[in-house]
Amino acid sequence: MASKPPRTDIDESRLRVSDPARVAVGVPAVAHALQMSIEQMGVARSIRTLARVNQKDGFDCPGCAWPEEDKRHVAEFCENGAKAVAEEATLRRVGPEFFAAHSVAELADHDDWWLGQQGRLTQPMVLDEGATHYRPISWDDALREIATHLRDLGDPDDAVFYTSGRTSNEAAFLYQLLVRGLGTNNLPDCSNMCHESSGSALTETIGIGKGTVSIDDIHRADLLIVAGQNPGTNHPRMLSALEKAKAGGARIIAVNPLPEAGLVKFQNPQTVRGVLLGGTDLADRFLQIRLGGDQALFQAIGKHLLEREAAVGGILDREFIDAHTSGFDAYRETVTAVPWRELEAATGLAEDVLRAVGDDVAASSATIVCWAMGLTQHKHSVATLRDVVNVLLLRGDIGRPGAGVCPVRGHSNVQGDRTMGIYEKPAEAFLEALDREFSFTAPRAHGYDTVAAIRAMRDGAVSFFMGMGGNFVSATPDTAVVESAMRRVALTVQVSTKLNRSHVVTGSRALILPTLGRTDRDRRGGREQRVTVEDSMGAVHSSRGRLAPPSDELLSEVAIVARLCGMLFPGAPQGDAGGTATDPSHDGDPDRGLPERPAADQPHRAPGDADDRAGARHPAAAPRADWAALETDYAMIRAHIQSVIPGFDDFEERIDKGRTLHLPNGPRDARRFATPDGTARFTANPLEYPRIPPGRLLLQTLRSHDQYNTTIYGKDDRYRGIHQGRRVVMVHPDDIAELGWHDGDVVDLVSEWTGDDGTQQERRAPAFRIVPYPTPRGNAAAYYPETNVLVPLESVADVSGTPTSKSIIVRLEAQARQR
């Protein structure tokens, strides 16, 4: 029997702290996953549903984007994957009676955990201007209101269309077509806040904004450097791949400010060794690096390799460097000139430790560097990732088995959304192919990314906001600014499975459009439909939900977008599938005009620049397609994808019967680099790292173990020893004493920011309990979204524009109400 939703928010007075764990997963993880599953779904539904997760005839986990091997386990899911499934497949429901009983003001007083725990949305709802409660609305009336508002826009750039990483390829492709059909490229997405720095750096250096490794490469690696990443919580299935690599003789280096249990020891619950024999020690070397010191680490590795090459020779892959790269001399001069003492200061690691890591790289026959947001959310993140690539190029570790770059994405289809064209700066070749396929002219002017969209809303330049999944208000930086900006919008629309804060911080008028989830059966046109997703390693496979939907009132994301397209672009005759299809079978022939890389891989330019926003704003004609047919036959959407995006030839056949379509990857497949000169580029990057003022700390925001992005599954972070609460700040014991505080003190976190004009800004997050924790001196950590309020909207990474959520200067103050 499933339990009822909670009545109250998290009670921080019950918070307790224990020692951090030294081992991850094991039987406790299985028990916790089953407990949460049964609470949400009941016993029978839990067994039936979890048996379908990540299976070839089942549905893709709505959690992380870690790939599956071709041979699947009976239980092909992790603890947090089970939590994600339970959250979506819950038996709890949020219908009209719930909204009648709770005003928007009352709902806004609840925390993110309580909101998400109430259950699945069941019917379209509208919040009238000036109203206190949502009321039911029909689908026809809701979609007609959206279409009317969009048709009446004075400028299509007055509308913003956000996308979460859980949207399927089919829905994402139609969504970007809808937006470009209106005449704008305002397509911010969650990538802007996480791996934008990865795409920017990789596109510039190797010509593709994605990783270059497969799951088999992970298993075959000789050395794996896992930097700025906590796989034990964020993508636990990665631990099985690391264990397999370890069994094959690989060494693992963990690079992280916090000692994360998942990289210390892994107890695999599907093996005898994991259950009875103590598990597997993973990290051979743990580098407790200072926040923002990762660029210095990779410069230190490169410096050491160059010095050893000069001394003994045979260290660098000269054949690869000469045949496939450019810029080596400038890189060598830059790195050689950096003093070791500065590399020590930036990393907090001694020179002998840095040189030992360099020796590990020199001894490796195949090295992979994996990373996540710990490397991507700093001001100098793009430079850091360029230096990651530099180290791999020195050893020829791009395009050989068991070697390469591995940015580990979060949401299950965040990479696929980009491949489908969810991007504010699309490539010209992509737009040309789109134009040909749908007989219209898409806009060329760059649109808003996430930060630029918030600024535009703040400034009153946006009258319409639509979120395709996700929780924009809680996911974005500078919470107070975002909430004020959202309230300036005339109409906000959220396409969602569950209640979240974006439903209670709204525009003057607001719509909630409930949609099917990944676990739900999607029956349209008299048959069950399937969708597709792309994992972190460029592999595309199908997903088909099996559960009866929570309500007969739900539409799929595909159906919602297709119906909107039919209302907005009614000119296409029924049966007209669009313009002339192009042959997608090639992979980058410039004479064909199609890109080797998707739009997601184009270099970043600052959104909102006059040059980017000038030019075509309205399409020359509306896109032509049989929208009604696309709503009821998703295979027709895949046929359009095949015609527009390279690598999807024979799309339908290649995903049939659970097969996986592996997208072409020039650097991996043929050491082919789609850069301007056709080479992989060494880059010369000045060393950067944060300087922390006296009496201050450098704060990183992070997830708890009972959390995935803004979805809070529970109240615990058991691997870090935090229980029954979330408002904690983890600080080194010596820093606590030096700053005059004590274990258990409750303080306000106050961030300090100096704008480009020299003005000083402060932001406050109240009531955080100080917890002594083994962080580097001068560093601290706390959970988001509670600390997003501290991240200034103006503080973004160079080049990529990603918010700097891992580099926030803060001071600790007595609580405001006590002063």
Q: What is the CATH number of the domain that holds 737?
A: 2.40.40.20
466 and 576 part of one domain:
yes
180 and 311 part of one domain:
no
Please give the Cα distance from 405 to 381 (Å, whole number): 15
443 and 428 part of one domain:
yes
452 and 522 part of one domain:
yes
Predicted TM-score (pTM) of the model is 0.92
105 within a domain of the structure (yes/no): yes
Nearest in space to 470 (alpha carbons), one of 130, 165, 157 = 165
> What is the pLDDT at residue 598?
35
630 and 521 part of one domain:
yes
663 within a domain of the structure (yes/no): no
Domain termination residue (choose one: 378, 408, 438): 408
271 and 133 part of one domain:
no
446 and 490 part of one domain:
yes
Task: Please spell the DSSP secondary structure of 43-108, one letter per residue.
Answer: HHHHHHHHTTBT-TTSB--SSB-PPPPSSPPSS---HHHHHHHHHHS-S-EE-HHHHHHS-HHHHH
809 and 710 part of one domain:
yes
> What is the pLDDT at residue 537?
92
Q: Which domain holds residue 731?
A: 697-818
206 within a domain of the structure (yes/no): yes
Q: How far apart, in Å, are the Cα atoms of 335 and each of 305, 311, 495? A: 11, 16, 48
Domain termination residue (choose one: 370, 389, 408): 408
> What is the pLDDT at residue 664?
96
Please give the Cα distance from 736 to 731 (Å, whole number): 7
Number of domains in the chain: 4
Q: Which residues of the chain have pLDDT under 50?
A: 574-618
State the chain's mean pLDDT as an integer.
91
Angle at alpha carbon of residue 574, lines to 569 and 577, rounded to 5° = 80
672 within a domain of the structure (yes/no): no
3-state secondary structure 388-407: HHHHHHHCCCCCCCCCEEEE
531 within a domain of the structure (yes/no): yes
* Assigned token pair, 405: 């770059």
24 and 165 part of one domain:
no
Terminal CA-CA length for the chain: 48
Q: What are phi and psi of 796, to 5 degrees?
A: -135, 160
Alpha helix segments (H runs only) across 261-338 = 272-276, 294-312, 318-324, 328-336
230 and 376 part of one domain:
yes
84 within a domain of the structure (yes/no): yes
> What is the pLDDT at residue 380?
98
Please give the Cα distance from 499 to 497 (Å, whole number): 7
175 and 243 part of one domain:
no
Q: Are 382 and 332 in contact (CB under 8 A)?
A: no
Query: How many Cα atoms sit within 13 Å of 101 on the Cβ side?
Result: 5
Angle at alpha carbon of residue 805, lines to 349 and 163, rounded to 5° = 135
11 within a domain of the structure (yes/no): no
242 and 353 part of one domain:
yes
Q: What is the CATH number of the domain that holds 293?
A: 3.40.228.10
Domain termination residue (choose one: 356, 391, 408): 408
610 within a domain of the structure (yes/no): no
Q: What is the CATH number of the domain that holds 641?
A: 3.40.50.740
> What is the pLDDT at residue 767?
97
Residues with Cβ within 8 Å of residue 468, at least 6 apart in sequence: 161, 162, 163, 164, 167, 171, 172, 175, 495, 557, 561
* Assigned token pair, 3: 């339990």
Q: What are phi and psi of 177, to 5 degrees?
A: -70, -40
> What is the pLDDT at residue 818?
58
> What is the pLDDT at residue 82?
84
